[in-house]
Structure 1
């Protein structure tokens, strides 16, 4: 993975806020929960929040936030590092070897699919930067981290470019920018972004998402 992709990851507090903003927009733009690209569960486990990116094509990214720190598990189904690309069907050597003992158990949930992994990144609460295991990637191959970390949209412009294509909706950059600024989401803003959605249902979901802010 290129160093700049790792360096571009913000600190966990900012990343968590960013993932929640993108999840909020997905709630507005897509009423079918299983079709959403970004989602967020504030109370995934005791003291643990979980963000997920699922592109619907077999690739996913899980981010777990806890007091111990944060851990990111990604799976690119086309990567040579995928267990499915190997006869032994096992986790590629080095991916989890250096993960701190306090963070690795966060992945121990059937829904996280711990064994389906092509890269892992973590950051303890006491760390000042993100870390990645010492993994030998075959020449010309990729672990999918650049691709999947690129699905975290840092700016409203990037999100609008993505969502216009993915959800096939014409979005107001001005309204999306307000949500990225973490301004309260109003009925008018919801209707502006997706006139066909059930505004009351969306507001209820958003309230649950932001219940513990």
Structure 2
């Protein structure tokens, strides 16, 4: 196996990034099926799962389990996609060296295990992310830069994407506070999205373990 060669957050920071992105999507989009980011604190016993989907056939699943963290990404336009291969097989080396306990976590049919163009993982105690010995002599694009790039590092990066996607202007201070603390003042929901039902948003936010300071009077 190999060390993952690109910069990537440590597991705890990664989880907090994904939680914040999901919280913002809950506020900005009332329809969950239209959201790019989803976060499930109790996907399975002891397992948290986050997903990212751009709605165009590209997705990524990140599972935080007692056995470690595993990331499975799928770029449907990649030449490394099983759909682009005559035998419809996973590209050689992607899963071969994944620890069996972590690989087993992908067996849930909702995670579409066979739709994969890259995979990385990190076991407890590891200081680096790892990936398999991928047979890719032509240096084909596996979609990892594209998909991992959707995990925004800063509020400003997220705002640049979200303002274009949702066609709204976002207050930088509010987005920054969510990025930094994962605590939301209820009135900030309407500041971000005046058309959002704040009560319903609060329920969804609390369901993913976001703290909401209630200030709006009913």
- Give the shorter-chain TM-score range: over 0.9
Matched residues, number = 210
C-alpha displacement at 1:6, in angstroms?
A: 4.8
C-alpha displacement at 1:91, in angstroms?
A: 0.5
C-alpha displacement at 1:7, in angstroms?
A: 4.1
C-alpha displacement at 1:141, in angstroms?
A: 2.2
Q: 5+ unaligned residues in a row in structure 2: which ranges? A: 212-218
Q: Which residue in the other structure is 1:24 paired with?
A: 23
CA shift digits 1:60-117 (9 cap, x unpaired): 0100001110000000000001010011011010000010112111101010000000
Q: Which residue in the other structure is 1:86 paired with?
A: 85
- What stretches of structure 1 move > 3 A for 4+ residues in a row? 3-7
Instruction: Check whether the contact 1:74–1:120 (CA below 8 A) recurs between aligned residues.
Output: yes
Q: Which residue in the other structure is 2:47 paired with?
A: 48
Aligned pairs for 1:112-191 (under 5 A) are: 112-139=111-138, 141-191=140-190
C-alpha displacement at 1:4, in angstroms?
A: 11
C-alpha displacement at 1:5, in angstroms?
A: 8.0
SS in 1 for 2:183: coil
Instruction: Check whether the contact 2:20–2:182 (CA below 8 A) recurs between aligned residues.
Output: no
Please give the alpha-carbon distance, in whole angstroms, between the structure 1 residues aligned to 2:5 and 2:44: 26
Q: Which residue in the other structure is 1:101 paired with?
A: 100
Cα distance 1:153–1:71, how it changes in 2: closer, same or farther (>3 A)? same
Q: 5+ unaligned residues in a row in structure 1: which ranges? A: none
Cα distance 1:134–1:183, how it changes in 2: closer, same or farther (>3 A)? closer
Q: Which residue in the other structure is 2:205 paired with?
A: 206
Instruction: Check whether the contact 1:5–1:149 (CA below 8 A) recurs between aligned residues.
Output: no
Instruction: Check whether the contact 1:47–1:67 (CA below 8 A) recurs between aligned residues.
Output: yes
- RMSD between aligned residues: 1.8
Please give the alpha-carbon distance, in whole angstroms, between the structure 2 residues aligned to 1:92 and 1:199: 45
Instruction: Check whether the contact 2:23–2:210 (CA below 8 A) recurs between aligned residues.
Output: no
